[in-house]
Structure 1
Amino acid sequence: MKTIHAPSPSRCQRGVYAIEFAVVFMVFFSILYAVICYGMLFAFRLGLQNAAEDGARAALQYQSSLEDRRKRAAYVATSQSDWMPQVVKPIVLAQICRVEGINQCSPITCGPSWSQRCQVEVLVQADNLGLLLPPLPSFAVPTQIAGKASMLLELR
């Protein structure tokens, strides 16, 4: 008569470590991927915000006209955002607007009085972020990020 022996405990555990490693690796890889993606997004967002703020500050430098101030703000914001990869080339919009009123950015005249005060608004946007990040499942990655800044202009 043949006796049946119960399998040894070490034999029953064979392959369990490989399954545990596969599960734990997927969890840690997902966390690492999310940290890298969001870290890149935050770095790009802060860079765009910095470019917009530098552009708005550049408009405070003396220029002969409001249009020259607007052009200077756009030029500085563009040059400060040149570090971005070409696939997400930023779009810069600078405009001079009245602080109060209905149609604030129509052709305006700014002056030294409180009711005629104007501000420069600089917006730096970047699109196509999906092309920049690694081609794995995206964790709710936005398609567009932007930096915006405004400064009150002093006219004398």
Structure 2
Amino acid sequence: MKTQDTRPAARRQRGAYAIEFAFVFLIFFAVLYGIICYGLLFAFRLGVQNAAEDGARAALRYQPTLAARTTLAQATATQRISWLPAVVTRNATATVCGVAGNVCDAPICSPKWEERCQVVVTVTASDMQRLLPPLPSFAMPNQIVGKASMLLDGRAP
């Protein structure tokens, strides 16, 4: 008689594991999806920052003019972000600024400490939402920016 008493209870429990699995699977899938998307975003951010730093280091190589240094820095940064897919809008800029103020003004580069200047390389990757898997808009930035600067020695004309 015991088997008859437990049998209706077992029939009522039929499918409960499937429902529990569905709820737990959704939670684990959401966590895994978030980890993968964050990892991709983190890798792209590091790549953009690395391109900006490489461009700033390239400006330290000897060039006869500041314009040539700026061109070399921008070309190096542009070449370093060429690995990004075509759906991402890539932009690299390099400017030479005076260090004294917060505004990027026309530099007077000389060996004097007050007249030192720096090169600032900015690399921007836009339209990231077209590349990465869809996430809620608050969690996905549309633009990633990498910025690096190097103090120039002041001996360049």
Q: Same fold (TM over 0.5)?
A: yes
1:6 offset after TM fit, Å?
Answer: 8.2
| Runs of at least 4 residues off by over 4 Å | 136-139
Q: Does structure 1 residue 121 correspond to structure 2 residue 107?
A: no
| Equivalent AA in structure 2 for residue 67 of structure 1 | A
| Equivalent AA in structure 1 for residue 101 of structure 2 | G
After superposition, the CA RMSD in angstroms is 1.7
1:53 matched residue in structure 2:
53
SS of alignment partner, residue 87 of structure 2: helix
Distance 1:125 1:38 in 2: 18
How many residue pairs get aligned? The number is 151
Distance 1:85 1:121 in 2: 25
2:90 matched residue in structure 1:
90
Q: Does structure 1 residue 42 correspond to structure 2 residue 42?
A: yes
Distance 1:145 1:100 in 2: 28
In the superposition, the TM-score normalised over structure 1's length comes to: 0.90
* Unaligned 5+ runs, structure 2: none
In the superposition, the TM-score normalised over structure 2's length comes to: 0.89
SS of alignment partner, residue 111 of structure 1: coil
Q: 1:107 to 1:132 in 2, by over 3 A?
A: same
* Unaligned 5+ runs, structure 1: none
Distance 1:126 1:17 in 2: 46
1:138 offset after TM fit, Å?
Answer: 5.2
- 1:34 touches 1:139 (CA, 8 Å); kept in 2? no
